[in-house]
Structures are given as C-alpha cells and as structure tokens.
Amino acid sequence: MDPLNNILNELYQLDPGLKNHEPALKKIIAELLASKPHIKIDEQFIKTLRTKLSLQADSLQTHTHSNGWFKLPYAVSAIAVIVIIGASTILYFNRTIPTPENISSNNQQLQEKNTILALGKNAFGSLAEVPTNSGRGSGGGGGNAASSYMAPEAINGDISTKMIAPDIMQPNYRFVYRGEPVSLSDTEVTVYRRVKGLTVPQSLANQIAKVNFGILNSNNFSQAKLDSYTLNQESDFGYSIMVNLSEGTINIYQNWSKWPQPQDNCNNEACAATSRIQLEQIPNDDEVIAIAQNFLKEKGISTQGYGTPFVQNDWRIQYDQMPDKAEAYIPEILNVTFPLSIGDVPVYYEGGQKAGLNINVDVRNKKVSAVMEITNQRFESSSYAAVTDFEEIKRLAEQGNFRYATPFQQGTITDIPLGTPSKGLVKLMQYTDGKNNELFVPALIFPVENLSRGNPYLYQTHVIIPLAKELLGKEQPPAYILEKSAR
C-alpha cells in the first residue's frame, strides 16, 4: 500500500470520524510527503564508512571475550581437534549445507567486491622496500628474457668481467618499443594496499587456544591466539583447506594421500612414459573453465569482483616451438585465472601474467586440484609521486623489467617488438616493520608481440613498468656468480 493510504488508514482506525475530512487530509498528507527533501547520498561515503566500521569490528573482535557458550553448528562428537599454536589446526567436520543464516563473517568479507579506504599521501611508507619479485610468472616464465645490452663492467665497475656462464645457451632477445607515443600527465598515482585479516568467532578461537594436550598445555601461553588452521578431507579426492587468518588468505590443495598418483607405481622411465599426459587428453578451454566454475559454485566460493576467467595456455607457446613433440612439455595441471581488477583496473604479476583467483585443474582426473589466493578485496589507497617521463619508462620496458638489465650472452640478438601499453596495476610485495604487505601499483603494461614466431624460450607476454617514481632508478645487477664478488 502506498504511504498516503497507509497513513490515512491509521488515522481512520484511530478516529473513524476523520473520514469525513478525507479530501483535506489527503491534501495535507500529500503535501507533507511531497515536501520531503530529496536526499542524495554519496555512494563513496557509504563504502568508506562501511570499510571503517568493518575494520573497527575486526579490531573489537580481537579484544572481545565472549561470555556466551559457542555452539558448533556441526556434530561435535565426530570431531577430533588437534591444535598447534600458530601452526595448524586440523578439524573434521560433519558439515551441513551452508544456508544464508549461517554464512560466516569470513564469507561476507570474501564476497565483497572492492572496498577501498582512502588514506593520506605516502601512507604506506617507502614503496621501494620490495626485496623480492611477487607471485607467479615473475621473471618472464623462462628463457633469457630480453634485455638491453650491458657491457659487463657496467654491472659493477670494480668487478671482474669474467662470469660463469649459465648452463644453457639461450637466445638473446632485445625488446624494442614499436608502439604509439604516450603522454604521462598525472603527477601522482594511487597505490593500493590489501587490508589483511580474516576472523573466526572469538569464542571458537578462545576455546582452541585453551586446549591441554597433556604434553603441552596451551593455557600456559598467555595471549596466544589462533593464527592459521588446516582442514583435511579424509575422503577420495579430498582437499586440504589452509586458512591463514592474519594474512587473510585461504588456499585449497589436494589432500595428496587421497588422490591417485599413478607415477608412484613406476620405477623406470618406460613406465613413467606410459602415464605421461598426451595432447589429445588436454580438454578445450571451455571444458576446463566449466570444471573450475562448477567447483567454485559447489563449494560456495565467490567470484564477485573477478573478471571473465581464462585458461593460462603459455605452455602451448613452448609446445609449438618444439620440433620434437615427443619431447615437448604437456602439463598435467592447467591453470584457470579469474582476473582481479581494483576499481576496474586490471592487476598483473610482475612477470606479466594477470593476477587474480587461481584454480588448478587436474587434466588426468578432470577435477580441480587447487584454488589459490582466496582473499578479501578490501584495500587502502594512498597517493604517491608519479613518473611523467615516458622516455625513462620506455628505456626500462626495453630492458624487460624495471629492476635490472640482463647482459647479453655471445650470439645473435633478436629484436622483439613491444606494443603500445595499456594501464594496469602491478602486484608487488613490500616488506616493512616486520610485515609483508601486498601493494598494487599503477603501471604501464607493454604487450610483447610476435610471441609465437619461432622465438624459443620467449614466454613473457607483457613487460610491466610501475609508474610510482620511487620504484624506478634503483636497478640492481642480477645475482650472477662473479669471480670477485666473493670478496
């Protein structure tokens, strides 16, 4: 019923005589309703406040001791609980199907699309504390990824020019930019940092932290708290679910002991060869994606915030290049990536592949064998000074990466064209104050062209150069073994 008639009916229930004045009452109530201010609420305000409240709730949760008795929703008598503080907890659940009423707070967080809390400038400290490459695909996935030529003495002026050559003589590739001119006008870029943490009900965490094993009594460790745990499925093709609460990540792997391993029964190469995957056993991409999607749907793992999934088929580049297909690598595991975007900007690993939710599909058994990087999508953002000199960016792109130039080996050099870059975010790890942080830094994504044109060992699909000023100009030599470097 509409508001006006609702109000009228309330009035008539109270005083039926008011019906005699219905026209006037209708008029005045209509005027009152029409005079209601038009309220336009800022959606960004709603999201920002939600994030702040969520952080406050998490903070309160760690300092709250429940007085209530926590009722496990599953059959307690069927559970064997083993707790190792700070390491892993193994629980066996007799589960019921999840219903909306028992969706946990963890799933609520994992189901959110990006929520971003804006902080002040340079809020994450120095971005340059990035000691290692991040994630998968770093380094380009094989081969002597193209690099600009560097005279050996340019690596380090007082180091001997003698180098111990790598075992494999690989081709020299040199990236050359062939794209359009690019103008970089923004003096600042927005860097994102993932907000870590998942929660379990505090009462459950408290119970686990107080277990007395006899040989060890957890109660003797004050202020100990649950940090991570593992669930193992003891059924055929079961899984191990590893939950890291402080990192805010969940990874699912095969419970190896419950999956068939045919090569374990082999003790010679001939036997192993018979169990090797053949090309015709590789399913088409649609089938692989369907296996992944059905698994996620069945297990209630949300893909909200991720883009259209695709199969990582880089292995086919190598396969096509191999003259003897019998020797070519055919994977037993195919990877499906649900690509992540933050604010509609795609995220990449440093090595050039798209980052996101990763699902491994076991080709032999046509089953999902792993789901990696299930995380929340809560971020903080902060502005940092940006590079505006495209020539510098181009120089680093032609180097193949922003960290170091790899000297060429003896032999011919093949030019590999780089196309006009698009904008993206590169996922980098920052180690500061004893913590590992996941940063997502705006970057230019240069596509590597001519990948399949008979260029062996060239698997790098993109060259990624970040646009945050303080990350550039700090190239270090690669960790070659140099004669005098032992000094």
Partner 1 sequence: MSPEQEQVIISKIQNGELPLFTDIYDHYIKQIYGFIFNRIRHKETTEDLTSVVFFKALNHIGTYKGGGAPFAAWLYTIARNTIIDHYRKAKPQDPIEDFWDLASDINIENDAEKNIQLAQLQKRMQTLTPRQREVVTMRVWDNLSHKEIASVLGISESNSKVVFSRAVSQLGETGIVALILLSLTQ
Q: Which residues bind partner 1 (CB under 8 A)?
A: 3, 7, 10-11, 14-15, 18, 21, 24-25, 27-29, 31-37, 39, 41-42, 45-46, 49-50, 52-54, 56-58, 60-61, 64, 66, 68, 70, 101, 104-105, 108-109, 199, 201-203
Q: Least distance from C-beta 338 to partner 1, angstroms? A: 24
Q: Is 62 helix (H, G, I), strand (E, B) or coil?
A: helix
Q: Least distance from C-beta 121 to partner 1, angstroms? A: 21
- Looking at residue 371, the DSSP 8-state letter turns out to be E
Q: How far apart are CA 304 and CA 11, in angstroms?
A: 47
Q: Which is nearer to partner 1, 24 or 81 (CB)?
A: 24
Q: Least distance from C-beta 30 to partner 1, angstroms? A: 10
Q: Least distance from C-beta 112 to partner 1, angstroms? A: 9
Q: Which is nearer to partner 1, 108 or 219 (CB)?
A: 108
Alpha helices for 367-420 (secondary structure H): 390-399
DSSP string, 314-336: THHHHHHH-S-GGGS---SEEEE
Torsion angles phi and psi, residue 421, rounded to 5? -80, 155
| φ/ψ bin of 369: left (φ > 0), alpha (ψ from -120 to 50), beta (otherwise) | alpha
Q: Which is nearer to partner 1, 107 or 321 (CB)?
A: 107
Q: Least distance from C-beta 198 to partner 1, angstroms? A: 9
Q: Which is nearer to partner 1, 22 or 320 (CB)?
A: 22
Q: How many helices (H) and strands (E) does the chain have?
A: 10, 19
Q: Which helix (H) or strand (E) holds 290?
A: helix 285-299
> 175: closest CA among 206, 153, 222, 143?
143
Q: Which is nearer to partner 1, 378 or 462 (CB)?
A: 378
Q: Which is nearer to partner 1, 152 or 201 (CB)?
A: 201
Torsion angles phi and psi, residue 338, rounded to 5? -100, 105
Q: Which is nearer to partner 1, 24 or 322 (CB)?
A: 24
Q: Least distance from C-beta 188 to partner 1, angstroms? A: 24
Q: How far apart are CA 266 and CA 274, in angstroms?
A: 10
Q: Are strands 249-254 and 239-244 parallel, antiparallel or unpaired?
A: antiparallel
Q: Least distance from C-beta 196 to partner 1, angstroms? A: 14
Q: Which is nearer to partner 1, 7 or 224 (CB)?
A: 7
Q: Least distance from C-beta 34 to partner 1, angstroms? A: 8
Q: How far apart are CA 377 and CA 229, in angstroms?
A: 21
C-alpha distances out from residue 79 to 107, 241, 257, Å = 22, 16, 20
Torsion angles phi and psi, residue 167, rounded to 5? -65, -35
- Looking at residue 163, the DSSP 8-state letter turns out to be B
